[in-house]
Amino acid sequence: MSAKAGFSANPKVVSLLRGKPKASDATVQLVESLKAQVIDALRDRLNVMFDGADDLLFEFAERASNNNDRRLFFDTMRAVRLGRKNMLTQFCDAYGASFGAAPTPSITPISARVEEEDLSLQKTESVELTIAVSNMATKAEGLYKQTLWEISGRVKSLIDDYQAPISPEALAPATICKAFRDAAEALNIEFAVELVVFKLFDRLVISELNDLYTRILHFLKQSGVRAAATGFVQGSRPGLGAPNDAGFEDSVEAPSSVPPSLQAPSPAPGFSGARGPAPLSGGPAREAAQEFRAPVGLAASMMMSPSLDPQTLASLQRIGAVPPNLATYSNASLAADLAAAAQGQVIVGWTPRQTTAYVQRASLVGHMFNDILADQHLPNALRTQFDGLRMSTLKVALKDIAFISDPDHPVRSLINELATMASTARAGGPAHMERIAELVAQIQKQFDIAAESLRKPPPEIELVGTDQAERFIEQQMAQASQRRQAIVKKVRRIIAEELQLRTRGTTVTDDVRPLLNSLWAPMMAMHLLHHGPESAEWKRGMAQLDRVLQMLDPAREELRGEPSVRGLRAELESEFTAVGLASGRVAEALDGFERALKLIKPGLPVPDPALDNLAPPVNLHVPSAAGAPEGASELLEQLIQPGAWFLIHDPDRGESRWMKAVAYYAGLDCAAFAEFNGSNTLLLKSRMLLDDLLARRTVPVDLGPTARGALDRYLARAA
């Protein structure tokens, strides 16, 4: 027994039968508070994982090179959806149980235990899972080494000096990973799927624990828990000791007699310290700079010794190859000067500082456009146009450093918005891509500036710092991620709306829903992503849906004959299997569909309330001379969504130009539009806007199936 802890070592006073002294109420309260906040934070982090699993797995499936991998990701998506609630409960229970003190011997690393076990007596799958858990823990210990070392010293102080009921490994990454493995067993899934679930956990939880450990350390410091002089205790690997730099205050000081927070039973502070309680985890709404990291050294090398990447240099050389007009300083002149400056040549009239600043900014803009053009979803028909935007955008950055420093710069936001629209253009079909191409060409004119204004930059032009460059790169990485998410969301929206529109008035029972939601919808999403709505694959899938719905019509008994049902089933099985959907799920869903067909009795269809409540049909009427009727107002409410792009006919200018919708004011019977930066607002009365829609002088650029169907019906009735 330690004399430092204040207990006598005399056996006449302290008998072995009396055991170890109990922790004070304040100590127990502090540990319980720590435990509750850590569990809440990990639960929040798991919820973030579950919320993002669908998008991530769908992206993996879309990138998969073969049907087996694609089927694996779809199976994982289904397993995570079904097991989410149970996994959360199991994880919190498992981690909570491991948090308390236990009379365990010295901690043996997971990797060491694997080597000691007789692997020949284990199933290979079990060994692989154990290794996966070990790898995750090792990764986390490397990522958060210094913070974990400080935490471990304070936990050791709590255990040795205050008999705190906490395990030495309570906060170790290995404990968190082990609890997740226990929870994953509740899914009862095949081994390959379980490995994918572990990868999700590694990517969305383990890689995001820095905030958790930082707040734990702050909590212990604020609670007055000082660190014992110790190495890294919690699940440490052999040879893993204290960090080299000793810049942490009181990290190896001897504990005082009683930490301030243990002197009285007052509630322990939250992890936010003196600022009051705060959630431990930032949740899904995290800053882009926290989620994405620029490659180490990239920004520094780009700014300290600026040069242009091959794509940007080639683009400038191509523009600069045009014979310059000696009377004016044109884009060709500026492009030739930039290309020469990037290659170390002296430009007449440019100081070294000006040259460095210009090449720095051009380098970052080039990096931005290379990322956009690297998107595999960007249609080839639009790549040339986006490469053409490079020069206009580069001039904006040369003129104003805010393009680099401010993520909300109007032109920078515009380029990212156009890139997102272009990356999702294939899902809208050829007509949509043509409108996007026209939009890009027109918008470029709105922000293009004269090269002459850049001929003589200011003498004290601001250089780009490494920190600025890193933030710019990280923010563009976040934009690229958002573009991928936008593709998935748009595809899902289109599929959901098509399914809703086509099943309106059809009774869809629980036996039929798996066929539509779990098989047909994923298949059509893949067709839309890869082939577009004009493809044979998409049209074939729509025709198959129509046949399914016709068979569900009680009045079409002739379609439910055995040969017809058997033929449709064989066709659907082939289609679903071809896109990588699991054969077991296919058979189960088709069996349910056949059961539903056998239960249908001839007669009038019974409306499905669940479907009817999703979105009421739009009541559209032909416009009259008296003004826009109620149906037209409903149409405009669907079309005029803030931020939506329109080719708007401007009666004052007598021309059409691309503008963004600001709002539709039903009470004022008008709609407002503006240019990309909010300037040059245009107000149009509803009557005038409807007339322009009918005459095709005004065209929306991107409508979903519901809004497109409403507009088409309106135009058809008006005709």
479 and 508 inside one domain: no
> Is the per-residue pLDDT at 213 higher than 80?
yes
More confident residue, 126 or 178: 178
Element at 556 (helix H, strand E)? none
603 and 642 inside one domain: no
Question: Does 264 reside within a domain?
Answer: no
> Is the per-residue pLDDT at 252 higher than 60?
no
How many angstroms separate the CA atoms of 531 and 525, rounded? 10
Length of the chain: 719
- Confidence label for 699 from pLDDT (cuts 50, 70 and 90): confident
Q: Can you give the pLDDT at residue 568? A: 92
237 and 338 inside one domain: no
**Lowest model confidence (mean pLDDT) among 176-180, 235-239, 339-343, 668-672:** 235-239
Q: What is the mean pLDDT of residues 534-552?
A: 90
Residues 6+ apart with CB under 8 A from 132: 195, 198
pLDDT digits (tens, 9 = 90+) for 437-493: 888 888 888 888 898 888 887 778 889 988 888 889 888 888 888 888 888 888 888
Question: Does 114 reside within a domain?
Answer: yes
Contact 269, 222 (CB under 8 A): yes
* CA geometry: angle 617, 622, 626, nearest 5 deg: 125
Question: Does 121 reside within a domain?
Answer: yes
Question: Does 673 reside within a domain?
Answer: yes
pLDDT digits (tens, 9 = 90+) for 324-359: 677 788 889 999 999 999 888 888 888 888 888 999
Query: Which of 494, 575, 499 minimizes the C-alpha distance to 537?
Result: 575
663 and 588 inside one domain: no
239 and 127 inside one domain: yes
Q: Can you give the pLDDT at residue 292? A: 67
The full DSSP string for 439-506 is HHHHHHHHH---GGGGSS--TTPPPPPHHHHHHHHHHHHHHHHHHHHHHHHHHHHHHHHHHHHHHTTS
> Is the per-residue pLDDT at 262 higher than 80?
no
Contact 515, 589 (CB under 8 A): yes
Contact 342, 364 (CB under 8 A): no
> Is the per-residue pLDDT at 119 higher than 50?
no
In this structure, which amino acid lies at residue 43?
Answer: R
Element at 655 (helix H, strand E)? strand 655-665
Query: Which of 448, 433, 309 minimizes the C-alpha distance to 371?
Result: 309
Q: Can you give the pLDDT at residue 124? A: 56
Can you list the pairs that 600-605 forms with residues at least 24 positions away whose Cβ atoms lie under 8 Å? 600/552, 600/554, 600/557, 600/560, 601/554, 602/554, 602/555, 602/557, 603/554, 603/555, 604/554, 604/555, 605/505, 605/506, 605/507, 605/553, 605/554, 605/555
Q: Can you give the pLDDT at residue 101? A: 58
In this structure, which amino acid lies at residue 286?
Answer: R
125 and 223 inside one domain: yes
The total number of structural domains in the chain stands at 4
Helices 430-447 & 410-423, crossing angle to 10 degrees?
A: 170
360 and 459 inside one domain: yes
> Is the per-residue pLDDT at 235 higher than 50?
no
Question: Does 710 reside within a domain?
Answer: yes
> Is the per-residue pLDDT at 300 higher than 80?
no
87 and 45 inside one domain: yes
Q: Can you give the pLDDT at residue 69? A: 75
The full DSSP string for 131-191 is HHHHHHHHHHHHHTHHHHHHHHHHHHHHHHHH--S--TTTT-HHHHHHHHHHHHGGG---H
Rama region for 666: left / alpha / beta (φ>0; ψ in -120 to 50; rest): alpha
- Is the C-alpha dihedral spanning 28, 29, 35, 39 positive or negative? positive
Which of 563, 583, 612 terminates a domain? The answer is 612
Contact 366, 422 (CB under 8 A): no
pLDDT digits (tens, 9 = 90+) for 487-539: 888 888 888 888 888 888 788 888 999 999 889 988 998 888 888 888 899 89
Residue 20's CB is within 10 A of a number of other CB atoms, namely 11
601 and 645 inside one domain: no
448 and 584 inside one domain: no
> Is the per-residue pLDDT at 569 higher than 50?
yes
User: Model-level pTM greater than 0.85?
Assistant: no
Give the single-character DSSP code of 5.
Answer: G
Question: Does 101 reside within a domain?
Answer: yes
How many angstroms separate the CA atoms of 344 and 357, rounded? 13
Residue 479, CB half-sphere, CA atoms under 13 Å: how many?
Answer: 25
310 token code pair = 């091959």
Q: What percent of the chain has pLDDT over 90?
A: 10
More confident residue, 645 or 102: 645
How many angstroms separate the CA atoms of 286 and 556, rounded? 53
pLDDT digits (tens, 9 = 90+) for 19-70: 456 778 888 888 888 889 999 999 888 888 888 777 777 777 777 767 777 7
Which of 256, 290, 321 terminates a domain? The answer is 256
How many angstroms separate the CA atoms of 487 and 644, rounded? 16
> Is the per-residue pLDDT at 385 higher than 80?
yes
More confident residue, 274 or 397: 397
637 and 586 inside one domain: no
524: containing domain: 504-612
Residues 6+ apart with CB under 8 A from 311: 366, 369, 370, 373
Q: Can you give the pLDDT at residue 630? A: 41
- Is the C-alpha dihedral spanning 37, 289, 371, 679 positive or negative? positive
Q: Can you give the pLDDT at residue 339? A: 92
378 and 242 inside one domain: no
Q: Can you give the pLDDT at residue 545? A: 93
Q: Can you give the pLDDT at residue 86? A: 85
Cα distances from 647 to residues 293, 387, 411, 674, 715, in angstroms, run: 38, 23, 19, 11, 17
Q: Can you give the pLDDT at residue 17? A: 39
639 token code pair = 């079309």
* CA geometry: angle 79, 290, 642, nearest 5 deg: 80
Question: Does 351 reside within a domain?
Answer: yes
Question: Does 282 reside within a domain?
Answer: no
How many angstroms separate the CA atoms of 530 and 62, rounded? 9
The full DSSP string for 324-357 is P-TTS--HHHHHHHHHHHHTT---TT--HHHHHH
Mean pLDDT, all residues of the chain: 76
Q: What is the CA radius of gyration of the chain?
A: 32
Which of 486, 521, 555 terminates a domain? The answer is 486
- Confidence label for 126 from pLDDT (cuts 50, 70 and 90): low
